[in-house]
A and B are shown apart, each in its own frame.
Chain A
Amino acid sequence: MQKSRIDQLIIEQEGMVPSSREEVEALQLKKLNELLEREEKRGGFYKNLPSSLSALKELEDLPFTTEEDLIKNGNRMVVLSQAEISKVISEQTSGTTGAGKRVFYTEEDCLHTIRLFEAGLGEFVFPGNKTLICMPYSGPFGLGELISAAIRNLGAEPVEAGIGKTFGELKEILETEKPETFVGMPVVLLGLLRLYGKGSLKRALVSGDACPEVVIEECERILGAKLWPHYGSREMGLGGAICCPAHEGMHLRENHVIAEIVDERGKRVPDGTFGELVITTIGMQAQPLVRYKTGDRTRILPGRCPCGSYVVRLDEVARIGASGQMRKLDNQMFAIKELVDYRVSWFGETADLEALCLPEADIEILERKIRQSMEEVAGVAGEKLQVQVRAAKDENRPLYAAKRRIQDQ
């Protein structure tokens, strides 16, 4: 079995071979100390941290950086001139007036992301392939644009569908372009596979949203191949961890990110134990973060990967908190094989559920199954649950353009 391509990436970027845990961690410590020293000299946001650690374990003694810190002090965490910033991702955070998290990137940060995407995609995208990309295109260094650049670098052709297309438009693209590979969100892929079958598609990378187990299983069953999940967050440059031929977890790009898993008390837990992912982004040029609490729940898979790489692997990742219910609901609902997509909104104690199903589905039976799932998972039934099921038509779109969440109206 070939080793994860993350190893080759580290060799190229760092000039060292990650041939043991000790070597990987020594590299991380070196880069962390460079960051701490720079911050002390700059008088930056992290100036009060020690300017040097003698062991990586001492990272556990440093304070966390929270999302609120990033919202309030994100500008102060930028270590370069604004003139060197090539991309910014900003969002509104509910509950705050006007304030939102802003994450800054240099051109080099974006190029590093393209290389990481290449490493992940290169496992299953080959020269001459066409790759259907259902991710947002938003301008220079947008996510879709970065993926397209990676695909081109691999000698393959990106088919830039973006987000917001109808099922009919996507079907036409599939029939015209006949892509072998797909990159996009898991439920969008499942909807296409259930509606139109695998067609020319042979392999797929899913990212951009949590991937419930049933959705993975169903996609793999119809595709006849294992999926290639990917994990990334804005704070680590969108690209974070890639799957390898062993398909056991996702290898983290450890020359850019130090990962810790902590429990509710903030104490580090051993490998194999689930907890919150905390990241120190030693490779980010514009806005490196120290011990940033991601709000994502995962674990570090213990031991060495069967592919032979010593680089740590993350298990599946899910958002902590309310979206746990979305995941449970997704697993229950997508076990219904006629379901193409659904969306839930809460109005106080009443839930409104809209579902799209296969044209040949029995809508009455489907509605019963949906009601049963909602009662079991969300505890809502009878008149408190409004359900509308209709057959998916070509003019319909996937019901979520972005991350799936139960909407509170």
Chain B
Amino acid sequence: MAEKNYYSIDPEGKIKCMKCKVPLVKSGAKFMYLDNGFPVEMPVCPICGFVYVPEELALGKVLAVEKALEDK
């Protein structure tokens, strides 16, 4: 069975890696936080592997999940 992706972003060729000068592609990645892992699909550079996380995602859903996982 395919692993569930918690989030998926397709850059559609619109985002470029500044270092490698190539468009990012949709690829598998994993968000890790305090021993918890979440497979996602993010824009990734096919050459250097850089993963692009949009700011609104980092400060939105990712932050909410971090707080849910943290001790209270």
Q: Do A and B come from one complex?
A: yes
Binding site for B on A (CB under 8 A): 85-91, 100, 102, 138-143
A to B CB contacts below 8 Å, 27 in the list? A85-B34, A86-B34, A87-B34, A87-B71, A88-B34, A88-B66, A88-B70, A88-B71, A89-B70, A89-B71, A89-B72, A90-B66, A90-B67, A90-B70, A90-B71, A90-B72, A91-B72, A100-B67, A102-B67, A102-B70, A138-B72, A139-B71, A140-B34, A140-B35, A141-B71, A142-B71, A143-B71
Q: Would you give the shortest CB distance from B42 to chain A, in whole angstroms?
A: 17
Main secondary structure of the interface of B (DSSP, over half): loop
Query: Which residues in window 21-72 of B have CB below 8 A to A?
Result: 34-35, 66-67, 70-72
Q: Which residue of B lies closest to A104 (CB)?
A: B70
* Most A CB within 10 A of own CB, among B35, B67, B70, B72: B70
Q: Would you give the shortest CB distance from B5 to chain A, in whole angstroms?
A: 23
* Most B CB within 10 A of own CB, among A88, A138, A141, A142: A88
**Residues in A neighbouring B35, C-beta threshold 8 A:** 140
**Residues in B neighbouring A86, C-beta threshold 8 A:** 34
**Residues in A neighbouring B71, C-beta threshold 8 A:** 87-90, 138-139, 141-143
Q: Would you give the shortest CB distance from B68 to chain A, in whole angstroms?
A: 9
* Most B CB within 10 A of own CB, among A86, A102, A139, A140: A139
* Most A CB within 10 A of own CB, among B34, B66, B70, B71: B71
Q: Which residue of B lies closest to A91 (CB)?
A: B72
Q: Which residue of A lies closest to B69 (CB)?
A: A88
Q: Which residue of B lies closest to A141 (CB)?
A: B71
Q: A90-B71, A100-B67 are in contact. List 16 more A-B contacts (CB 8 A).
A: A87-B71, A88-B34, A88-B71, A89-B71, A89-B72, A90-B67, A90-B70, A90-B72, A91-B72, A102-B67, A102-B70, A138-B71, A140-B34, A140-B35, A141-B71, A142-B71
| Nearest 8 pairs of A and B residues by beta carbon | A88-B70, A90-B70, A89-B71, A90-B67, A138-B71, A142-B71, A91-B72, A140-B35
Q: Which residue of A lies closest to B68 (CB)?
A: A90
